[in-house]
Structure formats: C-alpha cells, structure tokens
Amino acid sequence: MWVRARTVAVGALCAAWSLTAAGCVSTGGDQPSSSPIDLPTLSTVSPTPNESPASQDQLLAGTRNSIVRIEGVDCAGTYQTGTGFFVRPGLVATAYHVVEDQQSIAVRTPSTRTGSDHVFAPEVVGFNESADVALLRISDDDSEMPTTAATDPAVNSAVSSIGYPKGLPIGLETGRITAVDQNIVVTEGEDRRPLSGVLRFTAPASAATGGGPLIDDSGAVVGLVDSGFTDGSQVHYAVPGTTVKALTDGFAASPEVQPPPDCPSPSAPPAADLTVKSKHPDAPGIATSVGAYFGGINAGEQIVDDKQQLTGYEVAYAQLSGERLTAYPTLKKFSDTHHQRISNVVLQSVQYVDDTTDTVRLSYDYVTINDNGGQSACHKRSMEYTMSIDTGGWTFADETVRKRVSC
C-alpha cells in the first residue's frame, strides 16, 4: 500500500500553497500507444528444494538492483511513496494503488547500477484495478530483473518482502506464507478495495513495502506485496507472482499509456507564491516539502492542523534533517530565528546526487518581523539546499547561501 510520508506536515498547507509542480507536471504521453513492446520474455524458474537457502544479506544483495523506489504527488499536493521492481528491461511492476490518481510520478533506481542520474518520469502503460497490478515504462535499458517462480508458493513456505518501508531506505523482512487464494477487502481510510486470490504472509510491520516483490529463499519472485498492517499483527497480502507475470506480459504486448489526471486550479490563495521551474522528476515531491517549510514559517505560531494541533513552525521544523537539525537542535531556537515572511519562492533546479540525496537551487524574497510587528527591508536570497529522503520523505539536510541582495 502507499505509505503517506509526513502527510500532516505537507497536507496541512496544501490548500494554502500553489504547488505548481505537484499539480501541473505531465509524466507521460497524452496519446495511448498500441504497439507491443519488443522485449525478451520474462524468465521463470522452478523451485530447487535441494539448494541451501540464501541468507538475508545475500537475498538483498542479489535483488537490490532490480528494486525501485516510487514517489508520487496527487492533485491535492500529497506526497506518497511506494516500491516497484523490474520485470523486463525498462518495465517496472508495482501495485496499481501506488500510481493511481498520481499527477506526477518519479521512479528512482539504485545508484549501484551504471549511469549518472537514476530518476525517471515513467509512463503507466497498463493496469488491472481489480488485481491491483500496474506496469510502468521508463527510459532505462540497463535494468536487472529477478526471476519469477514458475509456481505459486505453498503454505508455510519461507518468503521475504523487499522494498522501501514507509519510504525509508531499502530493506528486507522475512516471514512465511500462511494462506493462499484469499479473498479480502483492503481498508485504506474511507476507501475499500476487494482483492481475490491473494497470498497471506507474515512479516514485521515495517514490511509495508507496497508494490515491491515477495521472494522465496532462492530469490525468485513469488508475489507482489499489496498491503499490510502496521498495528503489530504482522499480517500482509501479496498478489501471486504467476498472476503478476500474466498481467504484465499482457500489458507489454498491448501497452496503452494512461495520462495523468487533470488537476483543478487551487481554490485558496497561496500563503506564498511557489513556482517550480525544474522539470526533474523529483521536483514535484521536493516541492511539497518546500511548500510545507516556507508556508510553515509564514504561519508561525498559528495552528495549521486542527487534528494534531500543529503550528506552522512545527510543520516547518518537521522538514529538517542532518546539518539543519544540528544548526537548530530545538524547535524554540528555530522559531526564535525565523520571524519572517517569505514570498516569490522559485524552485529553479534539482540535481540527483545518490540514492537518497538531491541538491536543489531556489530563490525567495523575505522580510524579518520584529517583536513590535515591524518589518525589515526586503531581501532576496539565492540558495542551494541538500535534500535527503533518508527519513522517508524529502527534508532539508543542509544549506548554502549563494547570493543575498535587496529586492
């Protein structure tokens, strides 16, 4: 399932921000394509019970380069994360609910593979809503694919789920198949979606890696992780690998590009003007944190989330990590030094660094507010920020002031 990363911090300010990238960046072609994808057949393997099972480290190392992190931003400006895995060169399988209704999608491949930039804007070229399986196409022909088991696993078989739990760095959790051919209804907030013929398996709660592969002890894919519970019950469900293979083979044979949804214009005036000029696939996701950060500073001590009673400063502070938290070890120190009003924020560029890091350049205008409510002269700053996703979503890890001039 989707893991909503810091939805309170971001969602609390969505209505007050004009998230240009989050609402208006196209990630796929507008016209469906009916040409088959001319790629080699996905390989399958039969179980080899006489071989010794691989260790967790070996399983993770053997499959890591076939796993991708998926990030999405919907029309409401909500940032979400999921997992996927290559099934053919340039083709990624994931759960359909991971990409459903996402206005922008970014696929991030591991930096252990060749290439300098590992972030792609994919096209959704096929999906089956009832089975909750989707196929994405990216411009990457250097993919590594896991094998798919020729048969579905039996009850009590050892399995492992691999992916990005809650958007955090990649990990592996082990468990066992406890039931097959299950018919369930997945509850996500107010949404209900039925699933038929799925596998049930045990794994720790941190295995909520929706869209990632479920593998056996030889490393072969036996399922696609669909949903799980984070209440300590360790109950998870997966679409059988044979079903995933049949569906993705069909999508590859008759691809049809699904354009992203059209997003309505914001209904509320922005708390600060945010313009996203970067066309990098990560820009919409980063824009959600940029919006929450500067919008939170503008709101100050005002409550911006009625449910959790969070102030603007608390929302802004939640966007910090690394050196930025070292510079501001407490919320009070942060709020005491950020009596400001921010406007004309421009996210100019995004540059990939590694698995969990980007650098961004942006500019903004600001005035400082004194204790009597007076304002200083307006200044414009050009900044370079190091953005990190080590914590599950984009955070401000470090900053460099490039230029400061009067407005």
Name the residue with tokens 């990409």: 99
Q: Say if residue 16's pLDDT is above 70.
A: no
* DSSP 8-state class, residue 356: T
pLDDT at 263 over 50: yes
DSSP 369: B
What band does 60 get if pLDDT is binned at 50, 70 and 90? confident
Report pLDDT digits (tens) over 307-362. 889 999 999 999 999 999 999 999 999 999 999 999 999 999 999 999 899 999 99
3-state secondary structure of 85: strand
Summary mean pLDDT of the chain: 84
State pLDDT tens for residues 378-398.
999 999 999 999 888 999 999
Helices (H) and strands (E) in the chain, counts: 9, 23
State the burial class of residue 74 (Cβ atoms within 10 Å of its Cβ: 0-12, 13-18, 19+).
Answer: buried
The whole-angstrom distance between residue 52's C-alpha and the CA centroid of its chain comes to 35
Neighbours of 162 (CB within 10 A): 28
> Is residue 84 pLDDT above 70, yes or no?
yes
Residues 6+ apart with CB under 8 A from 122: 27, 28, 92, 105, 107, 136, 137, 138
CA 239 to chain centre: 20
Is pLDDT at 98 greater than 90 in this prediction? yes
281 band by pLDDT with thresholds 50, 70 and 90: very high
In CATH terms, the fold of domain 274-406 is: Nuclear Transport Factor 2; Chain: A, (3.10.450)
Cα–Cα distance between 233 and 181 in angstroms, integer? 20
Would you state the structure tokens that stand for residue 76, as one six-digit string? Answer: 């409401």
Residue 7 has pLDDT above 80, yes or no: no
Task: Give me the residue spans of the domains in the chain.
Answer: 27-253, 274-406
Structure confidence by residue, pLDDT tens digits, 185-227? 887 767 788 889 999 999 876 655 789 999 998 899 999 999 8
Compare 14 and 88 and report the one with higher pLDDT: 88
CA 304 – CA 283 distance, rounded (Å): 24
Identify the CATH class of 27-253. Answer: mainly beta
Confidence of residue 105 (pLDDT cuts 50, 70, 90): very high
Please report, for residues 155, 156, 173, the alpha-carbon distance to residue 202 in angstroms, rounded to integers and kept in the order given.
11, 10, 10
